[in-house]
Amino acid sequence: MSRKRSGIPGVSFSWKRALGISGMKSRISRKIGIPLTRQGRQRKMGQMLGCMIPTAIFIFFFIAGCSIFV
């Protein structure tokens, strides 16, 4: 079942945006470099792990290759 909506279609009001809470949170998160939302933190961790995997594979093969010559 769909959710019944009241009010004028296409018009919405956010009390958080009206009070400036949304802007304040975004400024803080940009300044500290860590997203404040759960989805943002998960996305950032995914990006960091995605960069680490090829590097880890390279280091593994580099160390394995060096150990052959020792």
Give pLDDT, residue 70: 58
* Domain ranges for the chain: 15-68
Q: How confident is the model at residue 10 (pLDDT cuts 50, 70, 90)?
A: confident
Taking the alpha carbons at both ends of the chain, their separation in whole angstroms is 68
Helix and strand element counts for the chain (H, E)? 3, 0
d(CA 62, CA 56): 10
pLDDT in tens, 18-57: 888 889 988 999 999 888 888 988 888 888 777 777 788 8
Give pLDDT, residue 67: 66
Cβ atoms of 61 and 53 within 8 Å: the answer is no
Give pLDDT, residue 2: 62
Cβ atoms of 50 and 42 within 8 Å: the answer is no
Tokens of 14: 């956010």
Give pLDDT, residue 44: 87
